[in-house]
Structure 1
Amino acid sequence: MTLTFVLYRMMPGGPTEALRNVILQQQMGTGNTIDPARVERLVAQYTNLQSDAPMYKQYIQYMSSVFLEQDLGESLYEDASVTSLLAERIPWSMLISVYAMVIGYTVSIVLGAVMAFKEKSRFDSISSIVVIGLNSTPYYVAGILLIFFFSIRNEIFPTGGRVGLGVEEGFNILFMQSIAYHAALPVLSMSILGLGTALTMRGNAVRVLGEDYLRVAKLRGLRNSRIATQYVGRNAILPMYTQFMIGIAGVLSSSVIVEQIFSYPGVGLLVYDAIQVRNYPVLMGSLIVFTLVTIVAILIADLTYGFIDPRISSGGTDE
């Protein structure tokens, strides 16, 4: 938090200068004559940050409000607290992030297990090339391509937004369908982040395939499907548990660019807009949320890994 606090304020310009540039761009777009005095009056009206105070005073004031009062501050450009803005946007970001992770990891686990079973086959080679190519493709490039093919050329999905115009909000079928319809492309774009796990799953499954207990299972005449799910899949997926928990924060933070591309009003788009106008309280509040999600996810993974893999709880002894 300290490092980020300093780095944000070392960026060129500041909230006042950023707001001044926005007002100037708006006046230039309308073709009206630019009145410097009016611009300064607007800047003074909309800026409620004491930017003239020394940085150390701003730092002490911010840290004391966060840790002593649990207050993330007020947004510079909206008449709302940072907490309320984040609470409004986070559920929408979690919606697309969680579904993207579930889809990406599910496909990766199944695909990786099949690749391991068909090791050195044509399917394994082609799948490895496809997965490496998709994993090397940035998710925002995938998002642009998806918009081009499915929104602009074919008009199957909308280009942005999270709910259709005129749809009444509430617990009804039309509202739910509109949410799923608008979230389809962002979820598909972010799912590419989890496809690289297929290679990890394949490597883990290949190592498991060489274990003695699998040979014993085959000698017992067990079905291949049971061996694949209860013996290979269950043990190969264990090392990926921590990676999955850490990936929750990774997918949430990656939504900054995805939501900007799809104009999806989540916490990512909120952070992007805050960067444009140097809205420091929103930026710092978002950083705290992302950091807390990462720390909590890692803590849960550490505390629960022993339940998932009993060998960890035994201290690694043969018994």
Structure 2
Amino acid sequence: MMPGGPEQALRNQILSQQMGSSNTINPEQIEQLVENYTNLESDAPIYVQYYQYMSSVFLEFDLGESLYSEDTVTSLLAERLPWSMLISVYAMVIGYSVSIVLGAVMAFKEKSRFDSVSSVVVIGLNSTPYYVAGILFIFFFSIRNNVFPTGGRYGLGIEPGFNPAFMQSIALHAALPILSMSVLGLGTALTMRGNSVRVLGEDYLRVAELRGLRNSRIATQYVGRNAILPMYTQFMIGIAGVLSSSVIVEEIFSYPGVGLLVYDAIQVRNYPVLMGSLIVFTLVTIVAILIADLTYGFIDPRISSGGNNE
């Protein structure tokens, strides 16, 4: 229903390439190129195409083929998904780990200078878009200081395999995307601080102090464990948020993952690739929320006991 489409996108690309060139292509040749490069063959009504597509996805588990190649969408996603998961998982773990520790320390030092300064810094970082952080990282760490590469999965001329040079190159190329995406999880520090402050006023903490327990044990097993429980669902939902944010991050760093695949599909209106990627993102979100709902009772036994345990 949107204006344009894969045929119009390819026509515009051909016309833009021949601008300023002496070799011009007549409209008949353009239509022939469009017919050859886009495997659009169905002239059925839109509702018939929709039924056929949904049937192939859910009954045959077939996401279709790319409009500009003979590659299947499943093979394209299978090739790039591990690379996107690499930077997404590490970014999420780093962001949430730093936020949890920082939030707990801020709660213990409530109303101190450290708490005030940390709150301002966290609010500022949380208000900074992750793609702006990515551009700043490229400018300072790649262009100015040449510490990290500006893009790609690994360096040119390196033999892929389980060897130290290849692993080091992967880590260097993934460092800046991971750091920029970690900004998404820093806002959790304020949530952790609020939860910890509420827990600090509970009676069982006073009992633990009267029993003479160590401060480290009180902080980890009494305060930290109870303060982190409300964040479990937020953590699982954050998996989808970090994965979907890779669309812009991978385009900035030219990191060939699912995010860059989606970005390129949007540019040329490659609908099967775009739809297949969005289905994967949706499934990841649904599965993460379902796992959170099913496992929250194991994380917090008070939920599974209900009203039977006062």
TM over 0.5, shorter chain: yes
Aligned-partner residue type, residue 274 of structure 1: A
Deviations 1:193-246 (A, max 9, x none): 000000000000000000001001111121211111111001100111111111
Are 2:143 and 1:152 equivalent residues in the alignment? yes
What code does the residue aligned with 2:228 have? I
How far apart, CA to CA, are the structure 2 residues paired with 1:314 and 1:45?
63
Alpha-carbon distance between aligned partners in 2 of 1:45 and 1:246, rounded to the nearest angstrom: 42
Q: How does 1:95-244 map to 2 (within 5 A)?
A: 95-244=86-235
Tell me, in whole angstroms, the C-alpha distance in 1 between the residues paired with 2:231 and 2:279: 26
Alignment of 1:65-76 (within 5 A): 65-76=56-67
What TM-score do the two structures reach when normalised by structure 2? 0.97
Q: How does 1:38-77 map to 2 (within 5 A)?
A: 38-50=29-41, 52-77=43-68
For 1:26, give the aligned amino acid: Q
> Does structure 1 retain, via aligned residues, the 8 Å contact 2:247–2:263?
yes
| Aligned counterpart in structure 2 of residue 257 of structure 1, from 217, 242, 248 | 248
Shift of the 148–115 alpha-carbon distance from structure 1 to 2, 3 Å rule, reads same
For structure 2, list consecutive stretches of 5 or more residues without a partner in the other structure.
none
Q: Of 13, 19, 24, which residue of structure 2 is paired with 1:28?
A: 19
Q: CA RMSD in A?
A: 1.3
CA offset digits 1:50-78 (Å, max 9, x no partner): 36432112111101111221111011012
TM-score (norm 1): 0.94
Q: Mark the CA change 1:97 to 1:115 in structure 2 (over 3 Å): closer, same or farther.
A: same
Aligned CA distance change for structure 1 residues 43 and 315 (closer, same or farther; 3 Å) = same
1:305 lines up with 2:296 in the alignment:
yes
**How far, CA to CA, are the matches of 2:194 and 2:200 in structure 1?**
10
Contact kept, 8 Å, 1:28 with 1:34, in 2: the verdict is no
Relative to structure 1, is the Cα distance of residues 69 and 233 closer, same or farther in structure 2, using a 3 angstrom cutoff? same
State the SS of the aligned residue for 2:306.
coil
Aligned length: 310
Mapped partners of 1:317, 1:29: distance in 2 = 79
1-structure distance, mates of 2:112, 2:42: 64
Q: Comparing 119-128 with 25-34, which one deviates more in the overlay? A: 25-34
Residue 77 (structure 2) aligns with: 86
How many angstroms does 1:29 deviate by?
6.3
Please say which of residues 32-41 and 240-249 is displaced more in the overlay.
32-41
CA distance in 1, matches of 2:27, 2:146: 44
Whole-angstrom distance in 2 between the partners of 1:237 and 1:196: 14
Does the alignment pair 1:278 with 2:269? yes
Secondary structure at 1:237 match in 2: helix
Runs of 4+ displaced beyond 6 Å: none
Report SS of the residue matched to 1:125.
Answer: helix
Q: 1:28 deviation in Å?
A: 2.3
Compared CA separation, residues 142 and 218, structure 1 to 2 (3 A): same
Report if aligned partners of 1:101, 1:194 keep a CA contact under 8 Å in 2.
yes
Query: What is the match of residue 28 of structure 2?
Result: 37
The CA deviation at 1:318 is: 4.2
SS of 2:19's equivalent in the other structure is helix
Distance of 2:170 and 2:239 partners within structure 1: 21
Structure 2 CA distance for partners of 1:32 and 1:155, relative to 1, 3 Å: farther
Partner AA of 1:65 in structure 2 = S
**Does the 8 Å CA contact 2:64/2:272 hold for their aligned counterparts?**
yes
With over 3 angstroms needed to count, the CA separation of the structure-2 counterparts of 1:125 and 1:52, relative to structure 1, is: same
Q: Which amino acid aligns with 1:135?
A: N
- Where structure 1 has 5 or more consecutive residues not aligned to the other structure, the ranges are 1-9
Matches of 2:186 and 2:222 in 1, distance apart?
Answer: 23
SS at match of 1:222: coil
The CA distance in 2 between the partners of 1:78 and 1:266, in whole Å, is 18
Which whole-Å CA distance do the structure 2 matches of 1:197 and 1:265 have between them? Answer: 29
